[in-house]
Every structure is written in C-alpha cells, then in structure tokens.
Amino acid sequence: MAPLVGIIANPVSARDIRRVIANATSLQITDRANIVLRVLACLKASGVGQVVMMPENGGIRHHVRRGVERSRNLGEHEFPEITYLDMAITGTVDDTIRAADLMRQMKVGTIVVLGGDGTHRAVVSRSGDVPIAGISTGTNNAFPEHREPTITGLAVGLAVTGRVPQTVAYAPNKKLVVRVNDQAPEIALVDVAFVTERVVGARALWKPETFRELFVTFADPEVIGMSAIAGLLEPVRRHEPGGLHVLLAPVEDAPLALTVPIAPGYMRPIGIASWQKLVAGKSHGPQIAAGSIALDGERELSFSERDRVQVALEENAFRTVNVAAVMDHAARHGLMRRAGLMTMKRQVS
C-alpha cells in the first residue's frame, strides 16, 4: 500500500495575547504555505506520492495550489498529489481536532503539524497511534523542535516509506493527563500549570504573580514559556523517564527567584518555593484550593474547592518522527546516494 502523509496547518494558530505583550512575530499565511511547499517537495523526493491536508479558508490552500501549478507548468512535477479532507471549516481549533481524527481513521503514516504547543496538543488528542512530526510556527514552541522544515519533510518521507527501521524512525513521548472530577480527561504535551486566577478570560499565561504550581513532561533550558521555569531549574530530556514538579510563590515570599522567558522577549522574575522529580503513574493534586488550569501555556479549565483535580505523567503516550535519528541513519547508510551520470552511461554502454 502506498504511504499516505497528512498535513495539518491551521491558519488560526499563534493568535493570543502573548503576541501583544511580548516581542513576538507572527508567520504570515504565505510563510506557512511556503513551509508546506518545502515539506511537500521533500516528501515527493523521498517517495511519497499522496498527501492529504486539512482544508482551511485562511489562504494557505490557495498559495499551495499556486506553487503546485507553477511547478507543473514548468514541467518539474516536484510535488505529490494533494487531496483535502471532506469536513466543514469552523476557523477554530476544532478544525485541527477534526482533521487529526479523520487522518487517524484514514490510517495515514504520519501527520505533519504546523503550529505551537497548543496545536500539537490538539492533534495528539485525536491522532492515536499515528506518529506526528512537528514544525514550530506558534507563539510558544516548546514541543515542536526548531528545525528547517525541509529536513523534517525529508525525514518523514524516509520514515513512512520504510527506508528507515521503525525502531529508529519513531520515538515515544510523554504526556500529562489532567482529570477534574468525572469529566473526560485533558492532556498536555509539555506542561500543566495551576494559577490563582479563576476566570479563564485571555487564555494565554502572562501574569507571573498568579503562577503557583507547574508539572512538566520535559525541562529544556532552551525553550520559552512555563516549561522554561523547569528547564532553568533542573533539565530533564524529552525522551528520558520522568518529568519535573515545581512549586511556585510570589517573588517577595520565595526563597529563590528565577528570571525566565515566559514569552518571546518577555523576561520576568518567578518565585520558586521548591521542585522535585515527577514520576510516571503517580497522581498529584494542586496545592491551591481554587483557580485555573493551563495546558501547554493556555488556560483551559477552572476549579473550586469542591472539585477533585488530579495530574499524572504518562510515558510512551504517543510517537513522533525522530528526525535527527532518521537523518543520521540516512547518512550512515547512504540512503540519499545514487550513481553519477558517468557511471550510469558506462552501465548502459
């Protein structure tokens, strides 16, 4: 069966208050379309002939179509065949969730995701066993690794066509599972934060004085956002066991203050009360009685003294394309090599 790759690029991602209060830039629609075109070209070059994309009305589809038509008119044919999911467009994150669900049902080999932490979380919530490959185009991009999309597209193609063993091509990832009473569980790929504000309002976190508790799946000192707090305290690698649990406090009351980039160019002091390793499978309740719960930097839930809230780390929760490992394997095994023109001429003669 020919490999099929899904691409989700939601034009409504990366539109939150952090773009206003921090020195953050926003990728234009043409930039996102150009990223998609780079990925498509690499998929075709590595043997992928069919791609299915999420439909949208933001303009990405229009620019991609123009790029494909321009290539065909020049006789290059450097892109795979593209189809679009048959789904209604709402212009919200629901489009991302619906697209991931449909792609899982179609049994695509991999889903390429353009977005930040929130977009990737939405995809993982419905992608099931389908691996994902992230391209960072959001506000806070702690989960998707920062890498040229050309290389990500090439690695996805090499992985889904079976030219790289699955044990090399895909890596397991951790997630946090949040349960409030008997409601359906919510997930976070990077961090769960508890803040004192009860009203969700502007969903993005940007008021450090309200931060009280933080759980992270990994702690990378090179990222921004809530997880940067943990990363600058005690690094925990993405694929190593466990996470980190940090108790926060107002700066004036805390034994330790940490200067952290909680948004692009937005440095703030954070009060640290204590921190410890987070073990998988153990449930934790919040230290505050009421407030809001932020998942990957965006407030999604509020809770009161009457609610029972539990957070637990889950390992081997979903898979991602291990781009670095795929490209290393490709180089060591000569997957991108082919005979030169002189050699081929000699073979013909």
pLDDT average, residue stretch 326-336: 96
Question: pLDDT-derived band of residue 251, with 50, 70 and 90 as boundaries?
Answer: very high
- Determine the pLDDT at residue 26: 61
pLDDT category at 204 given cuts 50, 70, 90 is low
Residue 5 neighbours by CB under 8 Å, 6+ apart:
43, 48, 50, 51, 52, 80, 108, 109, 110, 111, 112, 156, 157, 160
Average pLDDT, rounded, for the chain? 91
Give the pLDDT confidence score for residue 203 in this predicted structure: 58
Q: What is the pLDDT of residue 323?
A: 98
Of 61-65, 222-226, 252-256, 271-275, the range with the lowest mean pLDDT is: 222-226
| pLDDT of res. 197 | 84
Q: What is the predicted pLDDT for the residue at 244?
A: 98
Q: Taking residues 163-172, what's their average pLDDT?
A: 97
Which part of the chain has CATH 2.60.200?
A: 174-316
Instruction: Convert the pLDDT of each residue in 298-319 to its tens digit.
Output: 878 999 999 999 999 999 999 9
Amino acid letter at 260? V
Distance separating alpha carbons of residues 286 and 303, to the nearest angstrom:
10
The per-residue pLDDT for 138 is 79
Q: Can you say how many angstroms the Cα of residue 316 is from the centroid of all Cα atoms in its chain? A: 16
- The least confident of 71-85, 141-155, 197-211, 244-258 is 197-211
Query: Which residues of the chain are in CATH 3.40.50 domains?
Result: 4-173+317-343
Does the pLDDT of residue 338 top 90, yes or no? Answer: no
**What is the SS3 assignment for 325?**
helix
Q: Which CATH architecture has domain 174-316?
A: Sandwich (2.60)
Query: Are the CB atoms for 293 and 179 separated by under 8 Å?
Result: no
**What pLDDT is attached to residue 17?**
41
3-state helix, strand, coil in the chain (%, to 5): 30, 30, 40
| The predicted structure's pLDDT at residue 174 | 98
Residue range 64-119, pLDDT digits in tens: 999 999 999 998 889 999 999 999 999 999 999 999 999 999 999 999 999 999 99
Confidence check: pLDDT of 345 > 60: no
Beta bridge mates, 291? 303
Give the per-residue pLDDT at 344. Answer: 46
Fold of 4-173+317-343: Rossmann fold (3.40.50)
Continuous segment of H or E residues that includes residue 175:
strand 170-180
Q: pLDDT digits over 266-291, tens only?
A: 899 999 999 999 999 999 999 999 99
> Could you identify the residue written with the tokens 């990223």?
35
The pLDDT value recorded for residue 262 is: 87
What's the rounded mean pLDDT across residues 28-47? Answer: 95
CB 163 within 8 A of CB 284: no
Q: Give the chain's radius of gyration (CA, Å).
A: 22
Q: pLDDT over 90 for what percent of the chain? A: 79
